[in-house]
Structure 1
Amino acid sequence: MTRRMSYDGVAVAVPVTVPYVRYSTHGAHWFIGRALEALVASSGLDKAQIDGLTISSFSLAPDTAVGVTQHMGVSPRWLDHIPTGGASGVMSLRRAARAVQAGDADIVACIGADTNHVESFRQTLGSFSHFARDASYPYGSGGPNSIFAMIMANYMRTYGATREDFGRIAVDQRTNALQNPNALFKKPLTLDEYMSARPISDPVHLFDCVMPCAGAEAFLVMREERARELGLAHVLVRGAIERHNAYADDPIMVRGGWRMDRDELYAQAGARPEDVDFIQTYDDYPVIVMIQFEDLGFCEKGEGPAFVRAHRTTFDGDFPNNTGGGQLSSGQAGAAGGFVGMTEALRQLTGQAGARSVRDARLGLVTGFGMVTYDRCLCTGAVLLGSSQ
């Protein structure tokens, strides 16, 4: 295995969340603008000092990141539009980190934002991809719910997982969300309530699904010395990986690209899975969370059900996961869902997580997962972030 250039000297700072709402008549530009405004206000920077920009959004179309520069009155010397959905947060950081290391940008704003009109989710599904429009919807496929029902049912048959196993993940994340003022869900969830919820696409039931909403997430990437000059609380990038179209020969997804590159991820950081203090998994459905526990080396393939039975994944448990509630209990603001784990990890490692803080956290793992097709997602990524203190 050939080691890639390290991410030494790259800092990530200023986690921003534009509060989520269930529906909005504002467009994606509005949420992007709110995120950029918050980055400037929280960092103390002048807008002109942000000379790099990445944008991830489903509902921004037909505009792209280029149009955003004019609309927001910025003139970056480095720009990227990252259309990888739930993997976009990790991939935005990777690209911004390389731009900073190369000197192509000094300070990069990474923003994920989407709106959610009453009809926009249906429209997004209809225009998600040619494959979705032409090869699945005409045959009655109901979008992601039916796709992940197939993945979940196959996992259950293959490895003996039960709905209770997935329920433990959802219930613990709701417990975390109750300590997160940005989370849309404000009521506790019991395992009995999870089990008795109405079916959506068997075996997927109501609390296996994220709630579409509108909002934005954002952060800044810069050199470590720049963050220190500006007096910004920050974390350091210890390692990062991404992979696309992994294990294409698997008939139905039971593993993701993380498994291919996890050894390199930990080697970059000089760490092992047991050194990780918390994990922020991309969580569009609990089955994907369980697959990541396996693929990232916390247990072997097929041991995910036993793993979740043996561990508490609340922020104060022995294996903290999605400490802000993740998307399952905070909401999924489109492509911003790929940034939720990043902003939560920044808050955990810089002392901004409040009542849901993980005690003595020094090393956090954030994952990304995006662009679903008929039987799998195509994009995976992960980053290890370390405290700078």
Structure 2
Amino acid sequence: MSTGYDGVAVAVPVSWGYTKRSHHGAAYFLAGALRELLARSGLDKAAVDGLAVSSFTLAPDTAVGFTQYAGVSPRWLEHIPTGGACGVVALRRAARAVQCGDADVVACLAGDTANFGSFRGLMQNFSSMSRDFVYPHGAGGPNASFALIAEHYMRAYGAGREDFGRIAVSQRANAGPVPHALLRRPMSLDDYLAARPVAEPIHLLDCVMPCAGAEAFLVMSTERARALGLPHARVLGAIERHNAFPDDPVQYRGGWLYDRDALYDQAGIGPADMDFLQTYDDYPVISMMQIEDLGFCAKGEGPAFVRAHDLTVGGDFPHNTCGGQLSVGQAGAAGGYIGLVEALRQLTGQAAGTPVEAARHGLVSGFGMINYDRGLCTAAAVLGEGGS
């Protein structure tokens, strides 16, 4: 049975501190995002009685350690280590907390630092499965795992590199006017195709650029959001699933397939009603997988779909409208929040770049925690305009 999210609002989209390198720790970026949430909402710190935190480089601390750094005392607390799915998972769990009265206002934060040692340390300690089954073969990160997924997809469904390139090129165009995007220089399909190989068929412009920064939003009741005069979106539906389809020899689908009918039942609308789609885009093949598994086309029809549609903000299928991680940068776990924060901006008239005309509904999906040969975490949410 699908249980809805009536009465829950999401407000105050924040992207903070984006930079290629920083000597500051993760707590600095998380605290900066929290400070921005308070300043823009007009709330006192004491009014925030719920906190959800995602970060890779906050370790050895977790969310509870951050409460002391930030001087907050929540009665509801979540540490959400689900990588690229963390934004939707945080929203989903915070929404339930608000619905049952466990918290009135939840600050959802994700952020990480980036320096010459942070990425190496993250890769060395990412998971025991990666340490034992991937690294001994000379692979120092996720590129080889996603190369396996991309190559399998290309062989199974006839996708070419130019099909993945259409996703990357459209996102770069979307990022052009976005102030915090770190990669805004125009990119052509020829530029994409000419990029040097990293792990065939993955080339340089298939890969996100690690950076430092933070993303954040607030979750509260719609009544509270209206009383505060905050532009907000309504949570119409949300799902999460972990370790889906473990018997697939190579991942070619995600947990969205399990639960998408429940998602659309909760929302009362379907794929045709979405004014934009924000997918988790650590590599273009994963975005294509989400387009299929969320019901915009059938499995294997992703290449034809991206050839037939304009994915830019002004096109007939606006996708990753701020440029996604491929152009904004991947600030660790904050990459799992980018799509949700951008969806909130689009639905509340606060677009950082180009607004999607007359946007009323949007779909956000997440994908995270690549282990050996697959991402373990999937999630999705439907948001609707909510007013102020």
Return the offset for 1:259: 1.0
Return the offset for 1:388: 1.1
Q: Which residue of structure 1 aligns with residue 60 of structure 2?
A: 62
Per the normalisation by structure 1, the TM-score is 0.99
Find the partner of 1:20 among 18, 21, 32.
18
Letter of the aligned partner of 1:291 in structure 2? M
Q: Which residue of structure 1 aligns with residue 214 of structure 2?
A: 216
Return the offset for 1:139: 1.7
Q: Which residue of structure 2 aligns with residue 155 of structure 1?
A: 153
Return the offset for 1:355: 4.6
Runs of 4+ in 1 over 2 A off after TM superposition: none
Return the offset for 1:122: 1.1
Give runs of aligned pairs for residues 279-294 of structure 1, distance below 5 A: 279-294=277-292
Give runs of aligned pairs for residues 113-128 of structure 1, distance below 5 A: 113-128=111-126
Give runs of aligned pairs for residues 319-358 of structure 1, distance below 5 A: 319-353=317-351, 355-358=353-356
Q: Is the CA contact (8 Å cut-off) linking 2:176 and 2:353 kept in structure 1?
A: no
Q: What do the CA deviations read for 1:22-44 (whole angstroms, capped 9, x no partner)?
A: 11100001001101100000000
Find the partner of 1:318 among 303, 316, 332.
316
Find the partner of 2:263 among 258, 265, 282.
265
Q: Which residue of structure 2 aligns with residue 144 of structure 1?
A: 142
Hey, what's the Cα distance between the residues in 2 that align with 1:220 and 1:106? 10
Find the partner of 1:296 among 285, 294, 297.
294
**SS at the partner of 2:60?**
coil
**SS at the partner of 1:141?**
coil
Q: Which residue of structure 1 aligns with residue 233 of structure 2?
A: 235
Q: Give the 3 Å change call, closer, same or farther, for CA 350–370 of structure 1 in structure 2.
A: same
Hey, what's the Cα distance between the residues in 1 that align with 2:352 and 2:21? 27
Return the offset for 1:251: 0.5
Find the partner of 1:172 among 151, 161, 170.
170
**SS at the partner of 1:321?**
coil
Hey, what's the Cα distance between the residues in 2 that align with 1:16 and 1:71? 20
Gaps of 5+ in 1: none
Q: Which residue of structure 1 aligns with residue 224 of structure 2?
A: 226
Hey, what's the Cα distance between the residues in 2 that align with 1:233 and 1:198? 44
Superposition RMSD on alpha carbons, in Å? 0.7
Return the offset for 1:228: 0.4
Find the partner of 2:368 among 367, 370, 373.
370
Q: Is the CA contact (8 Å cut-off) linking 2:16 and 2:32 kept in structure 1?
A: yes
Hey, what's the Cα distance between the residues in 2 that align with 1:269 and 1:136? 40
Letter of the aligned partner of 2:320 in structure 1? N
Hey, what's the Cα distance between the residues in 2 that align with 1:229 and 1:313? 37
Hey, what's the Cα distance between the residues in 2 that align with 1:250 and 1:355? 39
Hey, what's the Cα distance between the residues in 2 that align with 1:354 and 1:22? 19
Hey, what's the Cα distance between the residues in 2 that align with 1:167 and 1:13? 33
Letter of the aligned partner of 2:166 in structure 1? R
Give runs of aligned pairs for residues 6-85 of structure 1, distance below 5 A: 6-85=4-83
Hey, what's the Cα distance between the residues in 2 that align with 1:101 and 1:302? 39
Hey, what's the Cα distance between the residues in 1 that align with 2:180 and 2:310? 23
Letter of the aligned partner of 2:362 in structure 1? G
Q: Which residue of structure 2 aligns with residue 385 of structure 1?
A: 383
Hey, what's the Cα distance between the residues in 2 that align with 1:151 and 1:347? 32
Hey, what's the Cα distance between the residues in 1 that align with 2:32 and 2:50? 17
Find the partner of 2:185 among 162, 183, 187.
187
Q: Is the CA contact (8 Å cut-off) linking 2:275 and 2:359 kept in structure 1?
A: yes
**SS at the partner of 1:356?**
coil
Return the offset for 1:19: 2.8
Find the partner of 2:93 among 91, 95, 99.
95
Count of residues in correspondence between the two structures:
387
Letter of the aligned partner of 1:348 in structure 2? Q
Hey, what's the Cα distance between the residues in 2 that align with 1:272 and 1:216? 31
Q: Which residue of structure 2 aligns with residue 305 of structure 1?
A: 303
Hey, what's the Cα distance between the residues in 1 that align with 2:353 and 2:266? 31
Hey, what's the Cα distance between the residues in 1 that align with 2:168 and 2:260? 25
The worse-fitting range, judged by mean Cα deviation, of 239-248 and 134-143 is: 134-143
Return the offset for 1:118: 1.1
Return the offset for 1:334: 0.2
Hey, what's the Cα distance between the residues in 1 that align with 2:353 and 2:230? 22
Q: Is the CA contact (8 Å cut-off) linking 2:175 and 2:353 kept in structure 1?
A: no
**SS at the partner of 2:363?**
strand
Return the offset for 1:347: 0.5
Hey, what's the Cα distance between the residues in 2 that align with 1:334 and 1:133? 19
Q: Which residue of structure 2 aligns with residue 134 of structure 1?
A: 132
Identity of aligned residues (%): 66
Return the offset for 1:186: 2.0
Return the offset for 1:354: 5.2
**SS at the partner of 2:134?**
helix
Hey, what's the Cα distance between the residues in 1 that align with 2:117 and 2:66? 23
Hey, what's the Cα distance between the residues in 1 that align with 2:194 and 2:75? 53
Letter of the aligned partner of 1:129 in structure 2? S
Q: Is the CA contact (8 Å cut-off) linking 2:280 and 2:365 kept in structure 1?
A: yes
The worse-fitting range, judged by mean Cα deviation, of 130-139 and 374-383 is: 130-139
